[in-house]
Amino acid sequence: MKWKAALTLALKKTPRTATEFAALPKHVAIIMDGNGRWAKKHHLNVSKGHRQGTEALREIIRHTDDLGIRVLSLYAFSTENWNRSEEEVSALMQLMLDFFSSEIDELDAKNVRILILGDKGRLPEKQREVLKEAEKRTERNTGLRLNIAINYGGRAEIVKAAREIAVLVRNGALQADQITEETLSDHLYTRGQPDVDLLIRTSGEQRLSNFLLYQNAYAEFVFPEVLWPDFTVHEYDLALDAYAHRDRRYGGRK
Ligand code: IPE
Ligand code: IPE
Ligand code: MG
């Protein structure tokens, strides 16, 4: 759906002005946090919290696509999340498989291009295969770019870029003084994509937790209090509205 059609639809649901939508972010990044607290609140096992979280995820991806936002980056599993119990890690790994098997047809049909950010090397074989397959199947799609960060760390990503660039310099393909900010961007998982415009982290926590460190340099941050499984399209719209009212100066003056 083109974004004007989506706007008409959206306006029927929640009153808002067209100007508020004029500043739609190109790239939204979301740190989906609060599944554990949600489970605790409902006296459930933490894995139920993660499962409920994937329900929110489906709706948020759909809404992002309907609005015509170009890039959506989701933090699903950090390099630090291996520190959790084996039981929780394996529940998350299973959810990953379930998510891709239930969603891939719809995402592909909607022309969504999936990219995994992070090192697949440490993941179990089955997960690795499913993720590679999802990337391969959608690589020619031209719609929403859906980045899913799995075994991702922002510092590890920058280190990886530095190593790749060092090899180019060693081979004589590049001079050290030719290295620019763009060179570095080109060696990140998100190469070719715009920087993050809007970063949302649910559950009231206000930190990056190693997410897209380079790409978030000039992002606007919104921290809704709501726990991720309770994050609705309405909450998302509120974050988009907050973004639309921000004054992005990039160090200059109006
Ligand atoms: C975020 O929810 C999901 C992942 C880290 C995979 P949490 O599991 O971190 O939820 P809280 O922070 O414990 O509530
Ligand atoms: C960040 O959340 C990672 C994901 C949402 C996947 P965490 O809950 O793991 O981060 P900290 O521990 O609060 O920083
Ligand atoms: Mg957390």
The rounded distance, in Å, linking the Cα atoms of 180 and 228 is 37
Q: Does the pLDDT at position 245 exceed 80?
A: yes
What's the 153 CA to ligand 2 centre distance in angstroms? 11
**Residue 103: CB atoms within 10 Å:** 18
Query: Which ligand has its closest atom nearest to the C-alpha of 42?
Result: 1
**Least confident segment among 1-5, 185-189, 233-237:** 1-5
Helices 125-138, 86-109: crossing angle, 10 deg rounding: 20
Tokens, residue 166:
């060092």
What's the 251 CA to ligand 3 centre distance in angstroms? 32
Mean pLDDT of 138-147: 98
pLDDT for the residue 254: 77
Q: Does the pLDDT at position 153 exceed 70?
A: yes
Instruction: Report in angstroms the alpha-carbon separations of 164 from 18, 50, 171.
Output: 44, 35, 11
Q: How would residue 14 be classed by pLDDT, with cut points 50, 70 and 90?
A: low
Tokens, residue 96:
């990953």
Q: Which atom of ligand 1 is nearest to the CA of 227?
A: 14
Active site residue 119: no
Tracing tokens 């309770």 back to the chain, one arrives at 230
Q: How many CA atoms lie within 13 A of 7 on its CB side?
A: 16
**In the 8-state DSSP scheme, what is residue 14?**
S
pLDDT in tens, 74-127: 999 999 999 999 999 999 999 999 999 999 999 999 999 999 999 999 999 999
Query: Which ligand has its closest atom nearest to the C-alpha of 37?
Result: 1
pLDDT in tens, 196-232: 999 999 999 999 999 999 999 999 999 999 999 999 9
The rounded distance, in Å, linking the Cα atoms of 61 and 98 is 16
pLDDT in tens, 30-88: 999 999 999 999 999 999 999 999 999 999 999 999 999 999 999 999 999 999 999 99
- Of all helices (H) and strands (E), which one includes residue 1? none
**In the 8-state DSSP scheme, what is residue 230?**
G
Tell me the residue length of the chain.
254
Q: How many CA atoms lie within 13 A of 108 on its CB side?
A: 14
Query: Which ligand has its closest atom nearest to the C-alpha of 45?
Result: 1
Cβ < 6 A, ligand 2 pocket: 31-33, 75-78, 81, 205, 207, 209
| pLDDT averaged over every residue in the chain | 93
Q: How would residue 7 be classed by pLDDT, with cut points 50, 70 and 90?
A: low
pLDDT for the residue 85: 98
Give CB contacts under 8 A, 24+ apart, made by 124-131.
124/93, 126/97, 127/93, 127/96, 127/97, 130/96, 130/97, 130/100, 130/101, 131/96, 131/100
Active site residue 81: yes
Tracing tokens 């990056």 back to the chain, one arrives at 208
Percentage, residues of the chain above pLDDT 70: 91
Q: Does the pLDDT at position 233 exceed 80?
A: yes
Active-site option among 81, 186, 195, 241? 81
Q: How would residue 161 be classed by pLDDT, with cut points 50, 70 and 90?
A: very high
pLDDT for the residue 18: 44
Residues 6+ apart with CB under 8 A from 171: none
What's the 33 CA to ligand 1 centre distance in angstroms? 5
Q: In terms of C-beta density within 10 A (0-12 exposed, 13-18 middle, 19 or more buried), how is residue 246 classed?
A: middle
pLDDT for the residue 19: 46
All domains in the chain, ordered by first residue: 25-152+195-209+220-243 (3.40.1180.10), 154-193 (no CATH)
pLDDT in tens, 16-31: 544 455 689 999 999 9
Q: Which atom of ligand 2 is nearest to the CA of 31?
A: 5
pLDDT for the residue 22: 63
